[in-house]
Amino acid sequence: MNDTWVEISCKVPAELADIVAEYLTELSGTGVCVENLNVDAFSHSEIPESPTATIKSYFSATDDSAGRLAEISSYLKVLAERHPGSVLPAPELSSVSTEDWSTSWKANFKPLRVGQRLLIVPSWEEAHARPDDIVLRLDPGMAFGTGGHETTRLCLELLEQIMDDMPILHSPAVLDLGTGSGILAMAAVQLGAGRVCAVDIDPQAVEVARENLAANGLAEQVECSTTPLESMTEHFDVILANILAEELVRLAPFLADRLAPGGSLVLSGILAEKEGLVRTGFASQPLQYLTTLQAGEWVALHYRKGH
């Protein structure tokens, strides 16, 4: 596959990277790429801080690229006015083939430890696991979710805590909403879940998830589909929803309805500045707010449904 796409790249101060990334994600509808430093690091603590970040968004070659460029330029101008002293250069436009886009990130995807026992290893790398490690082999392809982004790491950390607190011999049913690469569904199985459903509105993401599950020998233990949450009727002991804050709020009544009594709901994909929006959106649901975990500019919320 070598279709041509238009890439619009924005170089921004690091403190504004998450805000710009969310804007471009909503504008493009295809996600963004945050250009990382080319370092051989095993964990985030080993990666040196950079004052700037390059956010790359992608649009179809048939789209009005000049119009998109003007729209993004206008947004950056307004953002600069709201943050005096910030320097936001004009965005740059270029063409990129799908083949290049889907493989160029591999140079920066290295093994990563998350939580106490999870070790995420690229499918092309050798795993150096400790005896008690749970190894997840991953090739995210065009789907979101390597474990490196704060939103995914926060979900994995909360999932590990929730599963460790489960009663012995209880195998909870888990829903991974917005599965992307399938990493959360794989972790759920390896941490002791029973039935696991991985859903995503993007058929390509579902296919990537299936491939990763097969590579980890978990294909028979996870149900993958594009079934909308609103169409589901079953209940789950754990629901993981790593999607945009506004979509979480829209789905609040459906998430609460699909959660079994006593079950845990993990909400992620939330910029810290939008935590209030999400908590307000879930305030009317029969859920108990438990805690917030934060990493960088992102937060994840843990709720529990009463018995």
User: pLDDT tens-digit profile of 240-249?
Assistant: 999 989 999 9
Domain limits, the chain = 4-106, 147-305
- Give the pLDDT confidence score for residue 283 in this predicted structure: 97
pTM given for the model:
0.63
Neighbours of 84 (CB within 10 A): 6
pLDDT band at 143 (very low <50, low <70, confident <90, very high): very low
Can you give the chain as a three-state secondary structure string? CCCEEEEEEEEEEHHHHHHHHHHHHHHHCCCEEEECCCCCCCCHHHCCCCCEEEEEEEEECCCCHHHHHHHHHHHHHHHHHHCCCCCCCCCEEEEEEHHHHCCHHHHHCCCEEECCCEEEEECCCCCCCCCCCEEEEECCCCCCCCCCCHHHHHHHHHHHHHHHCCCCCCCCCEEEECCCCCHHHHHHHHCCCCCEEEECCCHHHHHHHHHHHHHCCCHHHEEEECCCHHHCCCCEEEEEEECCHHHHHHCHHHHHHHEEEEEEEEEEEEEHHHHHHHHHHHCCCCEEEEEEEEECCEEEEEEEECC
How far is it, in rounded angstroms, from Cα 109 to Cα 161? 25
Per-residue pLDDT tens for 168-209? Answer: 778 899 999 999 888 899 889 988 899 999 999 888 889 888
Q: Is 120 helix (H, G, I), strand (E, B) or coil?
A: strand
pLDDT band at 43 (very low <50, low <70, confident <90, very high): very low
Per-residue pLDDT tens for 10-23? Answer: 999 989 988 999 89
Give the class (CATH, top level) of 4-106.
alpha beta
Do 8 and 92 touch, CB atoms closer than 8 A?
yes
Per-residue pLDDT tens for 213-226? Answer: 898 888 899 999 99
* Tokens at 190, concatenated: 């390896």
Tell which wins on pLDDT, 81 or 101. 81
Considering only CA atoms, which of 127, 98, 124 is closest in space to residue 112? 127
Q: Which of 99-103, 125-129, 229-233, 248-252 has the lowest average pLDDT?
A: 99-103
pLDDT band at 107 (very low <50, low <70, confident <90, very high): low
pLDDT at 40 over 80: no
- If residue 150 lies in a helix (H) or strand (E), which one and from where to where? helix 150-164
Give the class (CATH, top level) of 147-305.
alpha beta
Strand 92-97 relative to strand 259-271, pairing: unpaired
Helix, strand, coil percent content, the chain, rounded in steps of 5: 35, 30, 35
How far is it, in rounded angstroms, from Cα 271 to Cα 268? 9
- Give the pLDDT confidence score for residue 198 in this predicted structure: 96
- 98 to 60, 142, 251: CA distances (angstroms): 10, 9, 32
* Tokens at 107, concatenated: 């140079």
- Give the pLDDT confidence score for residue 37 in this predicted structure: 46
- Give the pLDDT confidence score for residue 99 in this predicted structure: 54
- Give the pLDDT confidence score for residue 100 in this predicted structure: 53
